[in-house]
Structure 1
Amino acid sequence: MAGVNRISDKLKVVSSSSRRKRKRSPFFLPEEILFSILLKLPVEVLCNVMRYVCREWYNVINDPCFIDAHLQKSTNCLLIQSYRFPNFFHFVEIHDSDIQTRMVRYEFPMSAYSSCDGLILFRCNEEGIFYVANPTTMQLVKLPPLSSKWCFIRAPLLTYFRSTGRCKVVLILRDENNHNVCLILTVGADSAWRQIDTKHFPDFASHSFSCKSFSTGGYIYLTCDYASHLFALDAEAEIFHRFPKPDCTIGGKYMVWKSFLGLVAHHAAFVWELWALTDLNTGKWTKLLYIDLRGKRCKIEQKFDVPYGESSVQGYLSRKNLSLDRCLVPIASLKNGEVLIFRGTLPFKTYIVFNLKTRKVSSFVICRGEEHASNFYVCHINNLVLLNAS
């Protein structure tokens, strides 16, 4: 309730001043009640309807205290962009009894690279320029251009600090000597990119980073499928750390699980292990649970789409000498770690949703055609966060 109290004190000053100048608005409500009611509404309703009702409601919805309170109570969804149709985004929301998908068309047809607290890092391929946008408020901030001496962009990522409202963007590039360098920029504060010192990690310069990187808790994680460790950037202090990988039997896929960096590793047929980097001081990984889907195999097979030209899923797998569980790639965790989403590898277009709490298996299909192979997908929170573009 701290956020409610802060905004309540602020609104009392505004409302008392307003009453001296004009009659009370027909939509007047006590500040605490107005705050609580608006806090329960979806962000799309707040952004497109409620903030236009009157000046008082507009001020409440755009107040940083309200934005932060609404962000903290929001649940994440899965955002999917097809690189063949960059104007179109699919938002997948998981509810108790169903899966809701909606498609939204935006006017900025750029490739998405990263999302944090609802802000998305885009790159215009024609210009080679990065942008940070909030697709809910349609706010778009253009970032400074990069020097021509940098090439081969890897692991572009952004992070947002709720305490300060600042947003930082991190890029891993190659210099003229083909060495890795790390550039960082504070949106709205820096007029040019700054280079972070990585000399205390000599192997950073030659490390083969994955294109997939992650941001959570103010840290940016740079991963590599074949290395025994990963790098983590404390984005606020702008200092790199190095952590070992967990002791997994077989490689896995990284993702953000709750507020931790997680790793879902294949353990056996239709069994995965969920690990989390739970202690940043020691680099300790904790094995949290086994994800056992052996009893769900038939149901998963029924939910898979039959590849074009094939008579059945099992017939295709037998002909290709594949196992169904090897066609399941874990990609995201939603609802505060309650739901795990798998993507079917080509030619399958199915996404499998597994609820770790209820053990319910469901599915959805977004894309038709070969564009499924080049989808960008990331956990996303629809919110009202305003970018500081000054």
Structure 2
Amino acid sequence: MVRERKYLGAETNAPVSIICNCCCKRCARKRQRRCLPPEIIFNILLHLPALVIRDVMRHVCREWNLMIRSPYFIHHHLRNSIGGIIIQPLFLAGKSTYVVMRRGCLEISEFDCGFAYAIRTSCNGLTLIPDSRDIYTLYVINPLMKQRTALPPFPHTVDIHSEFKLAFVEASMEYKVVNARGPKPLNPPKQIAMLTIGVDRVWRHIDVQHLPLTARTALTTFPLVTGGYVHWIGETFVLTLSAETETFCEFPMPQLERGFRKFLPMDGNLSVVYCSNELSRDVWEMDSETGEWTMLLSFDLKPLLHRFKDLFSNEKSVTYLGWLAVREVLVLSTICFQRHCIAYNVKTGEIQSFELGTDCSNTKPKVYNFVAHKNSLVCLEGGF
């Protein structure tokens, strides 16, 4: 049934239905002429944050939704996305925060992982979190997409969830979970546990008794992940596990004198902030595949200490929390009072500061957990 409207067809005396059909066809042809080529739309969407794509862009039309859901788009969007840092109270007695640097400006928003426990590892937007009701049950979760999948039971008691790390194998597009802590955490392990998500129904074990004792001792420390590599830091070396080949390499440290060293993931590579003298810091970068170290840059703490005299009494009170912009913006805070954070562009000297939420009912300083994270559209169960 077509509703009559006098202004439609007033001059032509044509039936309203014919006019409407003709109008719709003309509008459709106009829209078709105005429509951008799919490859241009693809490239535009690649530059939008994952949150905008999830909440807005995938609802525009069926064609865009199909494009956004394709593994090809998800993979390329992930590679084009900007990484940030999740900041959580260590015991979750407060709200979690997500900080990202976009076009030189800080973007700070609340972050909901959906679970009561703090995130200990993140890879391509996927996080690993224990169940609040059963800490021995681990879930891989994409907080942005509100998806999760449970991992098979671990073969022995779990005390420290920080030992579980997620790594990504780009060649096979698979995710693997690694744990090097055995039943006796203080003893050098004889094997490590590994699981390929969606493939393995039980944990596999890889023998490491062929490694030197010093290397196996390093496996008792907390590891760092850079994409498809898991690193354990020794005194004079870095022990690196390739998630793709499931083999170890021992890479020597750069020739640095004994002193303060802070190791941080920096996108796909490993970085170390080294104290070269009282107020100067050097940043070295290790290629995760070859183990080659490169002196990246040096920066000065003097502007920081001068501007924030009330926070930093000296250079020893500064702690390094993670990279916002790769090779450029480093997040710093104090060792004891981490609520006040600073984004320091180590190339330009630009300083931006921000404070984490305060709890009026609790005046005691909180200890925070800082995890490098990148919001992504990666799907665990084949769709949104």
TM-score by length of 2: 0.81
Q: Say whether the 8 Å CA contact 1:79–1:92 is kept in structure 2.
A: yes
3-state SS, counterpart of residue 309 of structure 2: helix
In structure 2, what is the equivalent of residue 221 of structure 1?
A: 231
Task: Measure the CA separation in 1 of the matches of 2:161 and 2:114.
Answer: 24
**2:276 aligned residue (267, 273, 279):** 267
Count of equivalent residues: 345
Q: Say whether the 8 Å CA contact 1:349–1:372 is kept in structure 2.
A: yes
1:150, distance to aligned residue in structure 2 (A): 6.7
Q: Are positions 1:327 and 2:327 aligned together?
A: no
1:208, distance to aligned residue in structure 2 (A): 6.2
Q: Say whether the 8 Å CA contact 2:224–2:232 is kept in structure 1.
A: yes
Deviations for 1:137-191, whole angstroms, at most 9, x for unmatched residues? 1111111111236765652210123443211111122236944241111111110
- Where in structure 2 are the equivalents of 1:1-390 lying within 5 Å? 30-85=37-92, 88-124=95-131, 126-127=133-134, 128-148=136-156, 155-175=163-183, 178-180=187-189, 181-203=191-213, 204-207=215-218, 209-211=220-222, 213-224=223-234, 227-249=235-257, 250-278=259-287, 280-281=289-290, 283-301=291-309, 304=311, 323-347=313-337, 349-368=339-358, 369-370=363-364, 372-373=366-367, 375-387=368-380
- Which residue identity lines up with residue 382 of structure 1 in the other structure? N
Deviations for 1:199-234, whole angstroms, at most 9, x for unmatched residues? 2214244446333x222242111225xx22221101
1:198, distance to aligned residue in structure 2 (A): 0.8
Task: Measure the CA separation in 2 of the matches of 1:355 and 1:215.
Answer: 23
Higher strand share: 1
TM-score by length of 1: 0.79
Deviations for 1:274-330, whole angstroms, at most 9, x for unmatched residues? 11123744x43222222112244211326x3xxxxxxxx7xxxxxxxxx42111111
Task: Measure the CA separation in 2 of the matches of 1:223 and 1:379.
Answer: 18
Q: 1:233 to 1:31 in 2, by over 3 A?
A: same
Q: Say whether the 8 Å CA contact 1:231–1:240 is kept in structure 2.
A: yes
- Which residue identity lines up with residue 239 of structure 2 in the other structure? F
Structure 1: tracts of 5 or more residues without a match: 1-22, 305-312, 314-322
Q: 1:353 to 1:163 in 2, by over 3 A?
A: same
Task: Measure the CA separation in 2 of the matches of 1:298 and 1:275.
Answer: 25
Q: 1:52 to 1:87 in 2, by over 3 A?
A: farther
Task: Measure the CA separation in 1 of the matches of 2:102 and 2:62.
Answer: 34
When the two chains are superposed, the root-mean-square deviation of aligned CA atoms in Å is 2.8
- Which residue identity lines up with residue 379 of structure 2 in the other structure? L
3-state SS, counterpart of residue 112 of structure 1: coil
Q: 1:229 to 1:71 in 2, by over 3 A?
A: same
3-state SS, counterpart of residue 347 of structure 1: coil
> Which range moved further: 84-93 or 156-165?
84-93
